[in-house]
């Protein structure tokens, strides 16, 4: 499973995830929005595995970073959310993901080592830990060089081919579902890409008869959006869409719904000054699957040839591995109950001083709010007072927590928001690490995000679309008080924006906090 949180809308790919997974869960929850999932406190053990921290959570499961004492190795453990345990269909899909992954032996497919069931009947899967995060996380750092993109696409192609050889379709290839792990070699620590998250995976013989419509609109094949029977060429289309994105620097389509993906118009020219490579990608994106390559191996081979015929098998790691993850450690302590959190700041309507400029920039409308809860030994998941927003932050960022709604502009309604920081006054003219997340009233993204002229450098605005959520993200570095400031605005609904502002001492922490933001609208 992924080692860096991600969903979400992200910088060059989506804050997966982001998540990249999307920051928004569509539809009302069956029970309380965070029931036993984002709210769950860190267990000390899952089966025989000591738990280190929570990696992330989604609508159906929570993923924990744990430690295999027998094999002296970190692992990721995916646990079905308690409120879905009684749903036999969801439970079956969860277990099928493990069975599908277990069928395949490939360095480019996430490995399932073990499976089990907790005392409360929740199933779990023990999987390879992706310590280099997801492609969505990687694109938060910078765009890939063409050689890096080709390596990654080739490896993902091998992973998909391995799945297809075992009769399994993935059906949801996108940046948040491409994971990276570190491997040691004579050259040092290197990165290998893996295909993960088979939540939509399906056996090909079943897909040819009956297909549940699903997938991510920007990457989904037309026949999949239409609910037709599928074969391996559906995954080829998604990989070609990802290829277009990485090579051209923009998405081939801007579909916001699966209905829009049913009959896509031809994508615009890629503008990469390589007509051979562009022809390969466009053939993979053919609306009629009969016009695509016979299989993914043919597609990736043609792309390699068009791009010079050389593939770097494993680039050097871009994030230093955490040595603590491969060292034995004492059994983690149990976390306390929710009511043992630090006291919240007194409820009040407020404009945070360092956000005033942002209010003007986001004048289309805005909102923010907070609430907190302990979720891991080194991190906490904080939830606003309305249970609309959650964000996971380092424990040290919870010295001052404010869960109350805010009024972004006089005369507007109060909106959900949450803020938390590393000390009192963290969000004043003497800033310290912290995060602010709030809902804004608006029917479109602003023309620009809040500016930070006191920072040494500010990157370009990164516009993205993930799972139908358009977003804008800007990273600034060399900022007073904290090195990194991140601004993100996401179009959640037709009349709601989500505004995220993060101040952090390092980019990695900022990325993890950004990817953890979740809303329940």
Helix orientation angle between 232-248 and 146-165, rounded to the nearest 10 degrees: 170
Q: Residue 421: which of 437, 435, 406, 438 has the closest Cα?
A: 435
202-210 contacts: CB < 8 A, separation 24 or more? 202/168, 202/169, 202/171, 202/230, 203/100, 203/167, 203/168, 203/169, 204/164, 204/167, 204/168, 204/169, 204/230, 204/231, 204/232, 205/167, 207/169, 207/171, 207/231
Q: Is 50 within 8 Å of 73 (Cβ atoms)?
A: no
The pair of three-digit structure tokens given for residue 22, joined into one six-digit string: 């999307």
Q: How many helices (H) and strands (E) does the chain have?
A: 10, 22
Residues 9-21: b if buried by 16+ CB within 10 A, e if exposed: bbbbbbbbbbbbb
> Rounded distance, CA 402 to CA 166, Å?
51
Residue list for the binding site for ATP: 78
> Rounded distance, CA 89 to CA 503, Å?
41
Instruction: Find residue 400's DSSP bridge partners.
Output: 421
Using the structure block, give the residue that is written with the tokens 């069928």.
Answer: 103
Sheet containing 389-394: order of strands: 372-374, 379-383, 389-394, 518-519
Q: Among residues 137, 172, 467, 469, which one is catalytic?
A: 172
* Torsion on CA atoms 457, 460, 461, 466, rounded to nearest 10: -110
> Rounded distance, CA 310 to CA 306, Å?
10
Instruction: Find residue 24's DSSP bridge partners.
Output: 519
Q: Is 21 within 8 Å of 8 (Cβ atoms)?
A: yes
* 172 is known as an active-site residue: yes
Q: Is 57 within 8 Å of 63 (Cβ atoms)?
A: yes
Helix orientation angle between 296-306 and 275-284, rounded to the nearest 10 degrees: 170
Which H or E run includes 401?
strand 400-402
DSSP for 109-145 reads BPPEEEEEE-TTS-EEEEEE-BTT-BHHHHHHH-PPP
CA 193 to chain centre: 16
Residues classed as catalytic: 172
């Amino acid at each position: 499973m992924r080692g860096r949180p991600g969903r979400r809308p992200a910088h060059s790919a989506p804050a997966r995830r982001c998540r990249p997974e999307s920051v928004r869960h569509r539809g009302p929850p069956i029970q309380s929005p965070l029931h036993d999932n984002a709210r769950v406190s860190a267990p000390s053990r899952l089966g025989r595995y000591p738990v280190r921290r929570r990696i992330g959570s989604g609508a159906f499961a929570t993923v924990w970073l744990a430690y295999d004492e027998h094999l002296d190795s970190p692992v990721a453990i995916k646990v079905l959310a308690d409120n879905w345990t009684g749903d036999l269909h969801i439970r079956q899909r969860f277990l099928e993901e493990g069975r599908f992954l277990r069928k395949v032996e490939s360095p480019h497919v996430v490995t399932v080592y073990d499976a089990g069931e907790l005392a409360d009947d929740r199933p779990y899967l023990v999987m390879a830990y992706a310590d280099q995060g997801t492609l969505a996380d990687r694109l938060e750092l910078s765009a890939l060089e063409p050689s890096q993109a080709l390596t990654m696409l080739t490896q993902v192609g091998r992973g998909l081919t391995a799945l297809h050889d075992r009769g399994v379709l993935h059906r949801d290839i996108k940046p948040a579902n491409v994971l990276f792990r570190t491997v040691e070699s004579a050259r040092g620590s290197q990165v290998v890409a893996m295909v993960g998250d088979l939540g939509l995976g399906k056996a090909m013989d079943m897909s040819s008869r009956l297909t549940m419509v699903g997938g991510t609109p920007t990457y989904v094949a037309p026949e999949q959006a239409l609910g037709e029977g599928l074969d391996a060429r559906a995954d080829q289309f998604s990989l070609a869409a990802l290829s277009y994105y990485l090579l051209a620097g923009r998405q081939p389509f801007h579909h916001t719904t699966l209905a829009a993906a049913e009959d896509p118009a031809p994508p615009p020219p890629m503008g990469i000054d390589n007509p051979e490579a562009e022809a390969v990608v466009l053939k993979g994106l053919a609306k009629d699957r009969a016009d695509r390559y016979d299989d993914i191996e043919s597609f990736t081979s043609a792309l390699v040839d068009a791009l010079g015929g050389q593939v770097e098998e494993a680039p050097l790691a871009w994030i230093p591995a955490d040595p603590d993850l491969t060292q034995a450690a004492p059994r983690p302590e149990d976390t306390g109950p929710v009511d043992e959190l630090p006291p919240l700041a007194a409820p009040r309507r407020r404009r945070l001083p360092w956000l005033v400029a942002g209010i003007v920039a986001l004048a289309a409308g805005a909102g923010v709010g907070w609430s907190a809860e302990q979720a891991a030994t080194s991190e906490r998941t904080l939830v606003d007072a309305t249970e609309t927003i959650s964000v996971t932050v380092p424990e040290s960022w919870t010295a001052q927590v404010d869960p109350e709604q805010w009024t972004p502009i006089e005369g507007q309604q109060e909106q959900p928001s949450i803020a938390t920081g590393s000390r009192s006054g963290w969000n004043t003219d003497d800033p310290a690490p912290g995060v602010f997340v709030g809902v804004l009233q608006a029917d479109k993204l602003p023309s620009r995000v809040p500016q930070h002229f006191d920072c040494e450098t500010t990157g370009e605005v990164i516009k993205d679309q993930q799972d139908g959520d358009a977003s804008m993200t800007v990273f600034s570095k060399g900022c007073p008080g904290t090195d990194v400031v991140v601004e993100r605005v996401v179009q959640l609904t037709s009349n709601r924006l989500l505004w995220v502002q993060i101040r952090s001492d390092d980019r990695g922490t900022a990325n993890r906090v950004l990817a953890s933001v979740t809303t329940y609208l």
